[in-house]
Amino acid sequence: MENKKKKKDRENRKIIFLLVIFLLLVSVAIIIKFYPQVIPFDQKEIMMYLTVGNYTGIDLNVSALAFGTVVKSSTVKREIAIANSGNNTIRASLSVSGDLSGWTKLSENNFAILSNQNKNITISITVPEDAEFGKYSGRLKISFTR
């Protein structure tokens, strides 16, 4: 009787061991499949500048997103083109940080760009009525995943 119980216990341990191995293999397969889609393979950061003043002025800086001098309660827009020159579809996610984050709206976010195509995104900043005169800055971060 004791031998039957020991034999049954060994069989149960084998089944549990095989089940654990199976679950580990499934977990590894899922990680391998989805890891490249979650972790960005490239990131770009673009500085953003805006001055709140009592007149409107244009800034033609091409090394950053410069919105110039803007009066309170007004909206300014800049457009950027994001290009995919690769052979595979990629996904782009945008975020804004810094002084301008609460004032900024993006025309689109978390989108796919097909191979050899461009996507134009409009960045709009609306200056609140209660904003203080002065210089403000932020960063536009673009993360690319597959």
pLDDT at 115: 93
Q: Which pair of tokens denotes residue 122? A: 């409009």
Mean of pLDDT values over 66-88: 94
CA atoms 42, 114, 81, 109: torsion sign: negative
Residue 17 is encoded by which pair of tokens?
Answer: 């061991």
Q: What is the mean pLDDT of residues 107-118?
A: 94
Residue 145's identity, in one-letter code, is T
**DSSP-based helix, strand, coil % in the chain, nearest 5:** 25, 45, 30
Segments in 63-133 forming alpha helices (H): none
User: What gap in Å lies between CA 44 and CA 80, rounded to an integer?
Assistant: 13
pLDDT the model gives residue 34: 64
Task: Read off the tokens for 16.
Answer: 């549990």
Strand order of the β-sheet with 42-52 is 65-70, 42-52, 134-145, 90-98, 111-113
Q: Please name the amino acid found at residue 55.
A: Y
Per-residue pLDDT averaged across 27-47, rounded?
A: 76
| Rounded mean pLDDT, 69-90 | 94
Mean per-residue pLDDT, 120-130: 97
Name the pLDDT band for 91 (thresholds 50, 70, 90): very high
- Average pLDDT of span 19-44: 77
Pick left, alpha or beta for residue 98 (phi over 0 → left; psi -120 to 50 → alpha; otherwise beta). Answer: left
